[in-house]
């Protein structure tokens, strides 16, 4: 911990560069996971763009975390789950389809209703389109999106007596205008937000092994190191140890 405290200032310049890059990005994705800081429930946030990965330790999961970090910048697209604190930060929004796919898969197993199966197949078609979106013509993308829109309308207007299916319908309906945003930005917007989940994985492992941080400065220090390391890896596939060594030796 003394080593971390002594070296913390060395990571500040590159952390600030990553934040500046994030504030100029056209597409930003965000996610968070729970963590304990000073014996209290807190959150480890991550924000990802093509040029930067920024980690933040915060005592809240409120929208203020994203607002403070972005300092008024509104990217063209913001990618996240459906949690309200991660909504409204971009000019348009892409909801993480993987969460809806998980909910649909559960409904398929827990219900005899056929509606969750239809939604599961619809999501499979949406994922297939995202995988081939850089290889097909704009007219093909538009035609497939129109087909998906029609199919979704049919799914959402189908009567159901199953409470689980009705709840799933409502979730999809609430996020309807955010489901196919990726088709407006071929190859630039992912419908899964896997980059954020991968960036948060070390924080999840750290939480399970240590049960959190005893001080806020330690959480901030680790967030700064992860910001520098992950941004360097994004830019030039740099080895984490080499990045840390070069930073503290500068």
| Dist CA 138 CA 120 (whole Å) | 25
- 82 and 10 assigned to the same domain: yes
Start-end of H helices in 111-239? 115-132, 138-156, 163-174, 194-210, 216-236
* Percent of the chain scoring above 70 in pLDDT: 100
- 221 and 175 assigned to the same domain: no
pLDDT at 73: 97
- 84 and 105 assigned to the same domain: no
User: Which residue's entry shows tokens 């005893």?
Assistant: 214
Q: Domain boundary at 184, 210, 232, which?
A: 184
- 24 and 85 assigned to the same domain: yes
Model confidence at 74, pLDDT cuts 50, 70, 90, reads very high
- 86 and 109 assigned to the same domain: no
- 53 and 118 assigned to the same domain: no
- pLDDT tens per residue across span 76-91: 999 999 999 999 999 9
- pLDDT tens per residue across span 17-70: 999 999 999 999 999 999 999 999 999 999 999 999 999 999 999 999 999 999
Q: pLDDT at residue 4 above 90?
A: no
Q: Are 110 and 163 spatial neighbours (Cβ–Cβ below 8 Å)? A: no
- 180 and 200 assigned to the same domain: no
Interstrand relation of 27-37 and 53-58 (parallel, antiparallel or unpaired): unpaired
Q: In what order do the strands lie in the sheet with 77-80?
A: 53-58, 40-48, 27-37, 77-80, 92-95
Q: Domain boundary at 129, 155, 184, which?
A: 184
- 81 and 204 assigned to the same domain: yes
Q: Domain boundary at 184, 206, 222, which?
A: 184
* Percent of the chain scoring above 90 in pLDDT: 86
Specify the DSSP class assigned to residue 187: T
- 118 and 233 assigned to the same domain: no
Domain extent at residue 160: 97-184
Mean pLDDT of 9-22: 95
- pLDDT tens per residue across span 148-166: 999 999 999 999 999 999 9
Kindly write down the DSSP assignment for every residue of 80-92, as one continuous string: E-S-GGGSSSSSE
- 21 and 87 assigned to the same domain: yes
Domain CATH for 73: 3.30.420
pLDDT at 207: 87
- 25 and 41 assigned to the same domain: yes
Q: How many domains does the chain have?
A: 2
Residue of 110, 113, 103, 120 whose CA lies nearest to 168: 103
- 85 and 104 assigned to the same domain: no
Q: Are 66 and 86 spatial neighbours (Cβ–Cβ below 8 Å)? A: yes
- pLDDT tens per residue across span 129-155: 999 999 999 999 999 999 999 999 999
pLDDT at 16: 96
| Dist CA 226 CA 15 (whole Å) | 9
């Amino acid at each position: 911990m003394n080593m971390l405290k002594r070296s913390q200032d060395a990571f500040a310049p590159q952390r600030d560069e990553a934040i500046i890059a994030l504030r100029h990005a056209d597409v930003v994705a965000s996610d968070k996971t729970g963590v304990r800081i000073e014996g209290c429930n807190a959150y480890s946030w991550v924000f990802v763009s093509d040029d930067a990965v920024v980690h933040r330790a915060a005592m809240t999961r409120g929208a203020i975390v994203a607002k403070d970090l972005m300092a008024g910048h509104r990217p063209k697209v913001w990618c996240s789950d459906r949690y309200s604190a991660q909504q409204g930060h971009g000019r348009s929004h892409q909801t993480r389809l993987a969460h809806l796919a998980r909910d649909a898969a559960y409904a398929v197993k827990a219900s005899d209703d056929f509606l969750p199966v239809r939604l599961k197949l619809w999501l499979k078609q949406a994922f297939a389109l995202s995988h081939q979106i850089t290889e097909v013509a704009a007219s093909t993308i538009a035609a497939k999106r129109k087909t998906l829109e029609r199919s979704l309308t049919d799914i959402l207007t189908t009567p159901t007596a199953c409470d689980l299916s009705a709840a799933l319908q409502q979730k999809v309906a609430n996020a309807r205008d955010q489901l196919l945003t990726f088709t407006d930005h071929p190859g630039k917007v992912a419908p899964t937000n896997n980059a954020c989940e991968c960036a948060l994985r070390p924080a999840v492992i750290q939480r399970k092994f240590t049960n959190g941080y005893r001080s806020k400065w330690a959480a901030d220090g680790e967030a700064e190191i992860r910001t520098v390391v992950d941004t360097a890896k994004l830019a030039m596939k740099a080895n984490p140890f080499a990045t840390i060594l070069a930073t503290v030796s500068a």
